[in-house]
Amino acid sequence: MYALTFGGKEIINYSNIADPILLSSTDAIIKISLAGICGSDLHVYHGRETGLDQGTVMGHEFTGVIEEAGKDVKKFKKGSRVLSPFTTSCGKCFYCSIGMTCRCEKGNLFGWVQNGHGLHGAQAAYIRVPMADSTLVPLSNDLDEQKALLLGDVFSTGYFCAENAGIRRSSTYVIIGCGPVGLMAVIAAKHLGAEQLLAIDFVPERLAIAKQFGAEPLNASGLNIKEEILNRTHGRGADGVMEVVGSPQSLRSAIDILRPGGILSSVGVHTAVNFSFSPGEAYDKNLTYKSGRCPARYYAEKLLREEVPQRYAIEKIITHRFSLAEGPTAYEIFDKKLDNCIKPVLMN
Ligand SMILES: [Zn+2]
Ligand SMILES: [Zn+2]
């Protein structure tokens, strides 16, 4: 099959490699329909995440159809439509039982092979999914494929971020970063009842979508964010801040604009060694800090059941569609934010 593989810093190869095969009776092989390219794939692309083996198939966001199921896979058969969260989960361990599927004791991240161990990714024609019954989520025929793709990571993550911010009516919330996850957090925060919701970014096209989704856009270029938010909140600061960027600067801004007793909800993937605020500042702010990887398996099921993605045009963030063969170019366009690219997907 063909796949996009990691070839070293800033090298993505369109490679012809062996088809995946069942390695366990609970595995399934999925024929990929849509695969997303995610902001966290860019960390790998730039070599910021160390340890990934060269030749690893990239990507962790996908929808598809069961091509082959092991004999112990009970929920799916050849032809079943599925979406997948970005990690596998067993459905039985302590963490799965409390809905924290992202920390399953047997779970693994797709698109991460290190020293020969781990799982290949989804930017390919086919993928092997371990623990298929408890990892994959069945898709009804009437659900749009693009919505399903976003449920596997960015919409679930945006929702998780908004829920963690403890949204209440008549409070003021700020989202820092209007990339795919930030824009999904806008929809989620509005859905959860946020009235005053400000969305900060530098990119006008992204701010325009944030506005369409119901946020008040704030362009950070040339703006003193702290002053602006304090002015709008009787000098107090925001009741909740959602940080989706993952940089020390964005975390610093979040603290600066949060009121004492507020909640800082962070889903940005941070790689810094230290916090950009001190324990003393956290104390003085009576800070509640929530962060971490979204349990996407749990949220995908919950949000489908509550018909949340069905109600909103979440797929609007998908600005670019490429064939798998165009993958290396897609990475470049996404990375450099060329052509107003917000979220690219690969179609098989
Ligand atoms: Zn992702
Ligand atoms: Zn588990």
Task: For residue range 95-139, list pLDDT tens digits in order.
Answer: 999 999 999 999 999 999 999 999 999 999 999 999 999 999 999
Architecture of domain 2-153+295-347: Alpha-Beta Complex (3.90)
- CATH for 158-291 is 3.40.50.720
Task: Give the pLDDT confidence score for residue 269 in this predicted structure.
Answer: 87
Task: Give the pLDDT confidence score for residue 102 in this predicted structure.
Answer: 97
Q: Write down the mean pLDDT value for the chain.
A: 96
**Helix, strand or coil for residue 2?**
strand
Residue 262 tokens, joined: 């507020």
Task: For residue range 132-174, list pLDDT tens digits in order.
Answer: 999 999 999 999 999 999 999 999 999 999 999 999 988 999 9
Task: Give the pLDDT confidence score for residue 341 in this predicted structure.
Answer: 96
CA of 90 to the centre of ligand 1 (A): 20
CA of 99 to the centre of ligand 2 (A): 9
**Helix, strand or coil for residue 306?**
coil
Phi and psi based region of residue 294 (left: phi greater than 0; alpha: psi -120 to 50; beta: remaining): beta
Beta strands in 202-253 (DSSP E): 216-219, 238-243
- Radius of gyration of the chain, Cα coordinates, nearest whole angstrom: 20
Nearest CA among 62, 64, 146, 122 for reference residue 317: 146
Residue 345 reports pLDDT greater than 90: yes
CA of 1 to the centre of ligand 1 (A): 23
Q: Which uninterrupted H or E stretch holds 310? A: helix 308-311
Residue 228 reports pLDDT greater than 80: yes
- Among all ligands shown, which has an atom nearest to the Cα of 122? 1
CA of 139 to the centre of ligand 2 (A): 21
Cα separation, 166 vs 146, in Å, equals 28
Q: Which segments of the chain belong to CATH 3.40.50.720?
A: 158-291
Task: For residue range 232-288, list pLDDT tens digits in order.
Answer: 999 999 999 999 999 999 999 999 999 999 999 999 888 889 999 999 999 999 999
Nearest CA among 46, 4, 18, 314 for reference residue 159: 314
Cα separation, 14 vs 4, in Å, equals 5
CA of 91 to the centre of ligand 2 (A): 5
Residues with CB under 5 A from ligand 2 (ion): 89-90, 93, 96, 104
For range 179-190, the mean pLDDT: 98
Residue 63 tokens, joined: 């929808």
Task: Give the pLDDT confidence score for residue 50 in this predicted structure.
Answer: 72
Task: For residue range 203-224, list pLDDT tens digits in order.
Answer: 999 999 999 999 999 999 989 9
Question: Which residues have CB under 8 Å from 281's CB, separation 6+?
Answer: 255, 287
- Among all ligands shown, which has an atom nearest to the Cα of 130? 2
Cα separation, 248 vs 237, in Å, equals 19
Task: Give the pLDDT confidence score for residue 271 in this predicted structure.
Answer: 84
CA of 94 to the centre of ligand 2 (A): 7
Phi and psi based region of residue 281 (left: phi greater than 0; alpha: psi -120 to 50; beta: remaining): alpha
Residue 200 reports pLDDT greater than 90: yes
Lowest-confidence pick of 40-49, 72-81, 125-134, 156-165: 40-49
Task: Give the pLDDT confidence score for residue 48 in this predicted structure.
Answer: 73
Q: Which segments of the chain belong to CATH 3.90.180.10?
A: 2-153+295-347
CA of 294 to the centre of ligand 2 (A): 14
